[in-house]
Amino acid sequence: MTSLLHLDSSADSSGGSVSRQLTALFARTWRARHGDSADYRYRDLAAEPVPPLDSGYCALGRRVEQEGRLPADGVAGLAADQAEQRAWELTRPLVAELLAADTVLIGAPMYNYSVSASLKAWMDRVNFPGAFTDPATGDQLLRATRVVVVSARGGAYGPGTPREAWDFQTPYLRAYLESLGLAGQNLRFVSAEMTLSTLVPQLAEFRPLAADSLAAARAELTALAGLSGPAADTGLVTTGACGG
């Protein structure tokens, strides 16, 4: 069954979040394309935060690493106490959700040149030792998974802009996702830039740029949502405050 995991991480749930608007567009288009039979799962990481890592998670993770490759069903048996059991109970559903998805849609507004705390907490927890490696073969279980990362940025951080080098978000997310075993050609990053220009008077001259960037992002996401297979990242960049 075709499946989509939709994650939002913007702190702004009032309707003003650009990243939420864009991920909603992708999700609507995808669901219309694939019909009611497709599996759609939504997780709002800001409204229902993933608990940060604790000693129980760390202790269980180290024990699993010492054991080597271990099937998911065997992890609970290594838990030494209630804290470790609780850590796995919080972690396993998130891992299973990610493994079950053919496509993962991540709303990732730029906060202080990187990702939001809510998204970072999810990233930390799902990256449990060995979770995405087949214990029998060593194969990467996410190799064929397609990921679309949607970012909104208050300023401009694309290629050729003065603050291009300040974009720690895209390379960070790419490195993280590839470390989970995702194939680089299955990752796509789409951004809407200069979102704060509609709010900040000093940035008013950049409003046409922001409008063009948003339109390009909408067009790109609509096209991507209509695809059934992996899509290569062309590096399109079309970023900030809670405007994300």
pLDDT in tens, 30-58: 999 998 889 999 999 999 999 999 999 99
Q: Which two tokens stand for residue 177?
A: 């996702």
Query: Does the pLDDT of residue 229 top 60, yes or no?
Result: no
> Is 72 inside any structural domain?
no
> Is 86 inside any structural domain?
no
* Residue 43: domain span: 3-52+100-225
pLDDT (tens digit, 9 = 90+) per residue, 144-189? 999 999 999 999 999 999 999 999 999 999 999 999 999 999 999 9
Q: How many domains does the chain have?
A: 1
> Is 83 inside any structural domain?
no
> Is 40 inside any structural domain?
yes
Residue type, 123: M
> Is 149 inside any structural domain?
yes
- The CATH number covering residue 171 comes to 3.40.50.360
CA 135 to chain centre: 25
Query: Does the pLDDT of residue 197 top 90, yes or no?
Result: yes
> Is 235 inside any structural domain?
no
Does the pTM exceed 0.85? yes
Query: Does the pLDDT of residue 236 top 90, yes or no?
Result: no
> Is 230 inside any structural domain?
no
More confident of the two residues 71 and 236: 71
> Is 231 inside any structural domain?
no
